[in-house]
Structure 1
């Protein structure tokens, strides 16, 4: 009798172990295989939330088949305590494992509503936008000039106080350090005062910020980013450049940045200035003269006077030899790369061609022809206006 009982118990134990093993294999498969989500969603994880609340939200949105299994998988992978607050794009058919990785790895939020403070060369604006998970594209909700449009649009005031709203500061290539600081002073999500940093030391880019961040910490992020870019581009510079230091590279890049808005032209524009430096020719570039007049504090808003072109200032490259003493703006990586790897040309002149770009020339005679054509285009444009 006892032998039969022992045999039956052993059989039951074997079956139980077998079933448990099968359940574990099934659970692992459910956790790692594609999920039921029919289209992308934006998952909001508020500050102070936990994996239990997130799992309930995922079940309600049809992203996971079992909240319990999702939580157990997160526990088993030791990621429950790594949950990050934010707005996260969960792709169609994401597995539980993939969703766990998305909400625990950190970094910038990938979807939701954000307010973008754009600092441009000629103006600043605020954009309110929201990512459409289905298309992966941002939908603009409002855009306005904070200096001119009062009161602010309702779409801005609605999201401004929400806990899940994200904020971003976007610097255009070619802005001056004074412009950056001046605009940051009006961004009300930032705190504290900050001094104007050296010209050229800030990397034009998009920076996510949180309410309460200091202006000084943001400026420091921009400076560190520019330092890294400058070091990388300097290390990969062409041979035999008439540039002796990274600081001179930054100066030349800032001139290239201000001389053309056509990305494809930067290497050609850079080649003109590099060739002039090699030949001992003066750079004769208007943006440096303008910087000497404005000190980078805003836009000149008028033409350069003949007296200003003749004035002996450190930034008048019609008068001085070589480079001006400092950058005249904050150049982006593309202009730095162009300055340090210019196109191989014999160009020493360029002038506007009426299309937004420039006509380049190797000789003064060719340049004079290009200038004459540009004067004709200017006259035609004046008649049309």
Structure 2
């Protein structure tokens, strides 16, 4: 049985949500982000026309497009609208993977005999637009990589079908930047040796590509040749992420406890970014030596940034720990999660902080979670 894999992506999702609330924003260049030193979380096509793009510093974006309207953004609204779209899709599709807050993979394999996969997907897209007012684009092919690239080419409010015999002709003339796993570093590396189109990349010997960029070379070669066996993974919503530490001996050493909290935050925040989650609620738990247990929580703007979460967690601990009694356990939990492809809190964090976290995460992915971090957190890592 031939696979039928669809990629659906809500067009300029954050901007579209804001336009539902304010019709005056239609047709205007819009930037979603926050703060003078913040970065662009999303932008309208009108702003993109001037060269504005996601993760660009707000100041630079406004120099390119001074007429743009800057909106701070409302992750609660975006999360709610994303959930509505998810429910519409899940009601009509047997296997759905929610890749981020605004994009989905659908496995429609075997459904051709009932209705026709391309027509079926078109009806779902119409249903989403009718029931939510949100424009959505999609592409259908036989694997996730090709369908995702197809959606990018179909946008905005477009649709595309790339049949198996047309995959290579479709991919060949495109820039290697279109391949999802090709970041700026890989692009620059390949460009320097004259590899700029997917066709050129696909014709490169697989072994040479592996030697050039490492273990991911084989997977990149497959994608350039339109091969992607990865399945659509059924979507399930994660409710929280947490960690607890029970002391080997009850303690009253507050500075040590703060070090533990800092280390816990670093550990959990890294997992949030790795799995592409943002949290909106921080919960701290303590258990005294007499087994009395107390918790306190605080709602925050969606984030996965260590510095923000550490500050909140330490403030909660200060409010919680009111008795001069030894502690038996300390716990930390992040809940109120939304699944998004924005690995940082783009509404608050600066370009410098984003670069710092991205660099640290790369080091951790390569050398292990404890390979880099704040000096205070190493006290935590050495004690667990």
TM category (shorter chain) comes to under 0.3
Q: State the TM-score, normalizing by the size of structure 2.
A: 0.22
Q: State the TM-score, normalizing by the size of structure 1.
A: 0.22
